[in-house]
Structure 1
């Protein structure tokens, strides 16, 4: 990149790209209820006034991790807000450099106080840093780190979030080598038909917390993370036990027996690596943990909640295997 382009990027460091803007709704119990049900968080301080007061609080509080949710807007409101502001200017500048794709990498929160129903949260965002171009597995890119500060209706800071994304230049698709035509080789008659090649399956995002799981999957072993202190099983993998807070863990190997806990059937949008309709299911393993997977060897009409299924594997790449599940009756097929 030219020095002029680098200077234009650096000019965004320290610049506010989203001015202080309140969320559309105040903190409220219905949204808290939706959140804790989705997260299966049964801490009573979020919905039970009496239980919350027993802990010394004035009443129920919102889960700390909801801070970002209170200022998020739907698609229509987000699209309507686009109009050439600093955030759009930065996006356009990155696109000018070829960094047209984006993936979130990490988020760090610092909470100053608990939010309660009636609080009205607002947030502003400032660019903290833009990295030099880095070579990543996704392609050459730049890490954009911004600082989001969350305020209440009185202007007090309630949380600070350091948010990092990777804007990258997608790698070009490899071209198949052309076989030279020898003196005795002649092109076959063109029938108009072309064999369809399966597009590569999207690869999972692997980090230091889940690498062990994907390494085992590569060997077609389905592991479940287990707390070494209280022996609680958990999935997806994480650094800390949600039950006792221990950072020590080991693993157990899943039996492969499970049942369908929930499922959806995807029709659109279509990705060329998959067959449609695509059944995406949450299966509950015999050990008690759940994972999101695909169901194979069954039609959408045949799938039922609580249907017994058994572990199978699909090759997701040259060095990648992922667990899928099929009806028990088709075990071994």
Structure 2
């Protein structure tokens, strides 16, 4: 029955609510921290990964959505698959999008999987393909995949467990060692950062060509392209710029739920890190945090940021 939905339209003759425009490009680049010069100036193009952004309907949605999608969701809901999670997306770019381009699109339900069992529960993967045009010319393809599933019941012991405010160092329970955190990839481009961590310093890069600060460590400057730089020690002060609470997928070395944050340092760069000192549900955008170093095991120490509920 579900296979009959494959090939049916999810949206027909859709139209972006706004033409490609400079303010949205600027907002996107600021949010992503992307200062590439191709996205500004008289010959600016939109970042390729914005392909889907121009097709989104916002809070009010689109009026051109096909009833087939609603019918499919009603069937899945009726089968107990009442929860949904986005799993992945794929994009193919055929031409750059420029300010003034009018975006139109068609979407089709490309595939509906057989019932699958995952750690979240059992359900079906639904893939939608969107063909995007700019001023009538093919501009790209966007495939978006979700899992529509029936939530798995948690074991009683897991449901009763209380999350800790911060990860604990690896210890032994009985004869079983606690699983180790994955090791960071250290190479010639970021060796200096990890050397700083060993000395309890948070080092960021400063371009000696244009003085732009950058993080994470890169071999060249995104602003001027210079390969020359110097290391600068950050003050350790920052605020939570954005965050997500991780529930799934569970990983042996971590105890979900826990908060992963994008912290904006006082110097203006941002880094992904753990927040300690406060429960995961007390982390908020704008929360002041300060640097500390967490000993994970006998070999690994990581820079994290401690917040305060007060």
Q: Determine helix, strand or coil for the equivalent of 1:11.
A: helix
The alpha carbon displacement at 1:73 in A equals: 2.1
Out of 158, 161, 175, the position equivalent to 2:142 is 161
Q: Determine helix, strand or coil for the equivalent of 2:101.
A: coil
* Partner residue in 1 for 2:74: 92
* Partner residue in 2 for 1:143: 125
* Partner residue in 1 for 2:97: 115
CA contact (8 A) 1:64 1:111 kept: yes
How well do the aligned residues superpose, as a CA RMSD in angstroms?
A: 4.4
Q: List aligned pairs for 1:57-96, cutoff 5 A.
A: 59-75=43-59, 77-78=60-61, 81=63, 85-96=67-78
The alpha carbon displacement at 1:280 in A equals: 5.7
The alpha carbon displacement at 1:133 in A equals: 1.2
What CA distance in whole angstroms lies between the structure 2 residues aligned with 1:313 and 1:92?
A: 49
CA displacement, residues 299-331 of structure 1 (integer Å, 9 cap, x when unaligned): 99xx985x64213489xxxxxxx9853379xxx
CA displacement, residues 2-39 of structure 1 (integer Å, 9 cap, x when unaligned): xxxxxx21110011011121111100111111111111
What CA distance in whole angstroms lies between the structure 2 residues aligned with 1:174 and 1:21?
A: 45
The alpha carbon displacement at 1:123 in A equals: 2.0
CA displacement, residues 238-288 of structure 1 (integer Å, 9 cap, x when unaligned): xxx8969xxxxxxxxxxxx9824322699xxxxxx889xx996616599x8
Out of 180, 191, 194, the position equivalent to 1:219 is 180
**Under a length normalisation based on structure 1, what TM-score does the superposition of the two structures give?**
0.58
What CA distance in whole angstroms lies between the structure 2 residues aligned with 1:260 and 1:17?
A: 47
* Partner residue in 2 for 1:326: 306
**Under a length normalisation based on structure 2, what TM-score does the superposition of the two structures give?**
0.62
Change (3 A) 1:115 1:38: same
Higher RCO, Cα 8 Å, sep 6+: 2
Change (3 A) 1:84 1:200: farther
* Higher-Rg member (1/2): 1
CA contact (8 A) 1:67 1:159 kept: yes
What CA distance in whole angstroms lies between the structure 1 residues aligned with 2:219 and 2:77?
A: 40
Change (3 A) 1:284 1:311: farther
Q: Determine helix, strand or coil for the equivalent of 1:34.
A: helix
* Partner residue in 2 for 1:282: 263
Change (3 A) 1:140 1:229: same
The count of aligned residue pairs is 240
Q: Structure 1 regions of 5+ residues with no counterpart?
A: 1-7, 50-58, 177-195, 202-216, 245-256, 267-272, 315-321, 329-333
